[in-house]
Amino acid sequence: MRRRVAWMFCLLLVGMTVGCVNPQGAKMKPMSADTDFDIVILNGRVMDPETKFDAIRNVGVKDGVIGLITPREIKGKETIDATGLVVAPGFIDGHQHCLEPYAYRLMVRDGRTTIMDLEVGAPGNQVADFYSRIEGNTPLNLGVSVAHEFARAEVLDGFKDWKYLHTPDAVASRVKQGWSETRPTLAQGNEILAIIDEGLRQGGIGIGSTVGYMRDGVSSREIFELQRLGGYYGRQIGMHFRFTPGNDVEEVLGIQEMLANSAALGSPGIAFHFNNPGYAMVHELMLRMREKGYNVWGEVYPYHAGSTALNAVFLEPEVWVETLGNTYEETLMDVATGEFYTRESREEMLKKEPTRLVVIFKMPEKAILDWIKMPGVAIGSDGMPMIPDEGLTWETPYEELPNVHPRFSGSFAKVFRMVRENNIPLMQAVSMSSYNYAKPLGDMGLKAMQLRGRMQEGMVADITMFNPETITDNATYETGTLPSSGIPHVIVNGILVMKDEVPLKRFDAGQAIRFEPLEQGKFQPLDADHWTRAFYVLPKDIGGSSNLGCCDFEKPREQKH
């Protein structure tokens, strides 16, 4: 019965009357135990977070999809004995800032099959170039949002030469601080929005805004217009919030800015790394909004310390020390040396290397258990790039990689280890690692995520197999590049990319996670007169109504609940 239901879902999903499709769009026939599969996975504990299915089954993979889940005997070209292993949807990391080849092995070792940078992302005019570069050149699925920060740096600082799709390489742009401190004029605001619109037109997954690094320069109106623009496309904004890090009042207020806009505009939103003071209230807010049909969700990483650049605005003494009551000697650690800063040593290093990576200890370690018990919350690593990164490749030995925050290498395995050690249901960890990112992205129309994050027939064969008794993170703050263990096999789009904990150099396995490019963008330049006509009482309106709808603003399309 379950198999028939799965195939009916597949038929409805693609709008066909017979068969299903593989990830490349080719028609497929429903498969039986007699099918000659590409890969068969035998005797594994299959866990599907959407249906809560949990049983020992055999899995047949063919042409990039899960063709059959059955108790019957099946055969194929390659056989994996999964006795004692959980067979789960491939882990989805929506918050990884390092999309470079030297990171791929560590990502696979941690069970990740998809990594996306949805918090920062790519410059608006480089989204298509990014996807062109990765086509047929990655063992993982990759995707990006469109960067608010980069658009501001281009318009306000004239900086366009991004070497990588992450902030710390942009040392030249840090000489000027327009990107973070300047309130744009209306004309500049239109330029910023037009750049972001171009990235959305090229297929960017949504908008990424690190407004917490730009809190002085970004107005509430600018954030609202970003979310309005995302709403035109039905795509999310993902935010590092205005007052992150802050206290329990500031953190909640910063996230409420996005949530209120989402409610007013009907546009989706991601609360990035809301594992800060006030997290319990933020979680309740999002749960209640989802109950009312709003597509808003959040993610956490399972560490009580974060990582950022030394020159982050919130690490200035007047914020970090005087307002929040921290001391550098106890909270601010250099990633490379493991030593803690003083106020004086921080000032000295800022002159030499302003974007040097640091770890900031900001929460009690016991809070991690709260975070991983929250239903509907996803795991995102917030993995930062390795600095310096010259000469690093797929083959670079783990021990020769520059040190990073351990979340880069161990976020997903750590969740499963903590679930095991604290008697938390295993299905909760499976959901957090896959379905809880795939479901809301799929609901906003991202087809690639409608077919991932699930162990069901007809779904894309992104599969992670792990031993629930031994899966462990090994990365530490002292050595952040130690690979996770207890995850022997990983499949991406039906291709085996790790066998017996040995990553395989299958750079033909990964796919682009994106929207299809559009011929035209959707942005309409802002005009103060239009706003006045829409939201002020006009002299001709004797009755006193606000005359809403008189202007030619395009309204965001209705959100799909």
Q: What is the dihedral of CA 498, 503, 504, 507, to 10 degrees?
A: 100
Q: Quick one: pLDDT at residue 385? A: 85
In degrees, rounded to 5, the angle at the alpha carbon of residue 47 between the alpha carbons of residues 84 and 493 is 95
Question: What value does the CA radius of gyration of the chain take, rounded to a whole number of Å?
Answer: 24
Asked whether residue 410 is assigned to any structural domain, the reply reads no
Q: Quick one: pLDDT at residue 429? A: 98
- Cα separation, 502 vs 176, in Å, equals 45
Q: How many Cα neighbours within 13 Å face the side chain of 197?
A: 17
- Cα separation, 386 vs 388, in Å, equals 6
CB 218 within 8 A of CB 182: no
Q: Quick one: pLDDT at residue 297? A: 97
What is the mean pLDDT of each successive set of 10 residues along the chain, which is 561 residues long? 41 36 54 94 98 98 97 97 98 95 96 97 93 94 96 89 54 64 93 97 97 93 96 97 92 96 97 95 97 97 92 90 92 92 94 88 93 97 86 92 95 98 98 98 97 97 98 96 98 98 97 98 90 70 39 41 41
Q: Tell me which residue has tokens 């940078």.
A: 117
Asked whether residue 130 is assigned to any structural domain, the reply reads no
Q: Quick one: pLDDT at residue 30? A: 74
Residues 6+ apart with CB under 8 A from 209: 148, 149, 218, 223, 226, 237, 238, 239, 240
Pairing state between β 305-309 and 357-361: antiparallel
Main-chain phi, psi angles of 37, to 5 degrees: -80, 160
Q: Quick one: pLDDT at residue 26? A: 43
Please tell me the pTM assigned to this model: 0.90
Domain that holds residue 345: 307-362
Q: Tell me which residue has tokens 């990424």.
A: 208
Residue 291 burial (10 A CB sphere; 0-12, 13-18, 19+):
exposed
Residue 161 amino acid letter:
D
Asked whether residue 479 is assigned to any structural domain, the reply reads no
Asked whether residue 38 is assigned to any structural domain, the reply reads no
- Cα separation, 10 vs 20, in Å, equals 6
Q: Quick one: pLDDT at residue 309? A: 86
Main-chain phi, psi angles of 241, to 5 degrees: -70, 160
Q: Quick one: pLDDT at residue 442? A: 98
Asked whether residue 528 is assigned to any structural domain, the reply reads no
Residues 6+ apart with CB under 8 A from 208: 117, 118, 119, 120, 121, 145, 146, 147, 148, 149, 237, 238
Strand (E) or helix (H) holding 482: none
Asked whether residue 345 is assigned to any structural domain, the reply reads yes
Asked whether residue 319 is assigned to any structural domain, the reply reads yes
Q: Quick one: pLDDT at residue 176? A: 64
Q: Quick one: pLDDT at residue 321? A: 92
- 234: nearest Cα among 280, 193, 269: 269
Asked whether residue 344 is assigned to any structural domain, the reply reads yes
Q: How many domains does the chain have?
A: 1
Q: Quick one: pLDDT at residue 538? A: 58
Three-state SS sequence of 306-372? EEEECCCHHHCHHHHCCCCCCCHHHHEEECCCCCECCHHHHHHHHHHCCCCEEEEECCCCCHHHHHC
